[in-house]
Amino acid sequence: MYFFLTNLSLLDLCYTTSTVPQMLVNIRSARKVISYGGCVAQLFMFLALGATECLLLAVMSFDRFVAICRPLRYSVIMHQRLCLQLAAASWVSGFGNSALQSTLTLQLPLCGHKEVDHFFCEVPALLKLSCVDTTANEAELFFMSVLFALPPLTLILISYGFIARAVLRIQSAEGRRKAFGTCGSHLIVVSLFYGTASYMYVQPPSPASKDRGKMVSLFYGIITPMLNPLIYTLRNKDVKGAFKRLIVRVFLIKK
């Protein structure tokens, strides 16, 4: 679990770093600009990390399924090699998807003042700048979004279906509470991320789809990654215990 949490923490750190610094600079300045290279880098990283998080959350749900439904075989099934392979597959698939979508988006001819009506460079916002028909690009974006969102979400729901059935068979209330506590943080993160990202991307292409709210992408691209560490910290006794020991150690060193 902590191996995948490490991957999620690194991903969220990169996620916010790819957009927040430039956004803060633009908020403070009267002339809000971003270079073409910066926009390309932002687009690529945002797509790559978003797709990677979709897959990584599904992998984490499988990890929780094995831990609760197959506890005696957990160390055999979730061995180090498999964990590394699952994490690597998530990262490689996410960056591969980003390379494809970024290339297709950046090949479109741009016209007008090239004013991005968004907080950061994202595919729907950049499609608005094109002076050609973007129906094919919207269809491709919809297809890839469905591919990277629905199968992982289906795996998550199936995993938690088996987990719920296993937990309900536990006789003691304390045992059920511990089992649900193990999965509570992950369920909150999945709900926040998939709920907003699906609203933004997993919709059939249409003229109205270009007018999706900027606040939605701001929520799943910045607010949710910032909340993830807080969610896992508040609901994880080991993390809270380690944090308390760190505070005590720092206090004693200062003394």
Residue 69 class from Cβ within 10 Å (0-12 exposed, 13-18 middle, 19+ buried)?
Answer: middle
CATH number at residue 71: 1.20.1070.10
Number of domains in the chain: 1
Local confidence pLDDT in tens for the 255 residues of the chain: 778 888 888 888 888 888 888 888 887 877 788 888 888 888 888 889 888 988 998 999 899 888 888 888 888 888 899 999 999 999 999 999 889 888 888 888 777 667 777 777 887 777 777 778 777 877 777 788 778 888 888 888 898 888 888 887 777 777 677 767 667 777 778 877 777 776 666 655 555 444 455 677 777 777 777 777 777 766 566 666 777 787 777 777 665
Nearest to 130 by CA among 107, 113, 110: 110
Secondary structure of residue 121 in the 3-state scheme: coil
C-beta separation of 122 from 141 below 8 A: no
The residue segments making up the domain with residue 106 are 2-254
Nearest to 212 by CA among 136, 122, 150, 134: 122
State how far the Cα of 61 lies from the Cα of 9, in Å rounded to an integer: 16
The residue to which tokens 């687009």 are assigned:
43
pTM: 0.79
State how far the Cα of 17 lies from the Cα of 11, in Å rounded to an integer: 10
C-beta separation of 121 from 32 below 8 A: no
State how far the Cα of 225 lies from the Cα of 13, in Å rounded to an integer: 8
Other CB atoms within a 10 A radius of the CB of residue 106 amount to: 14
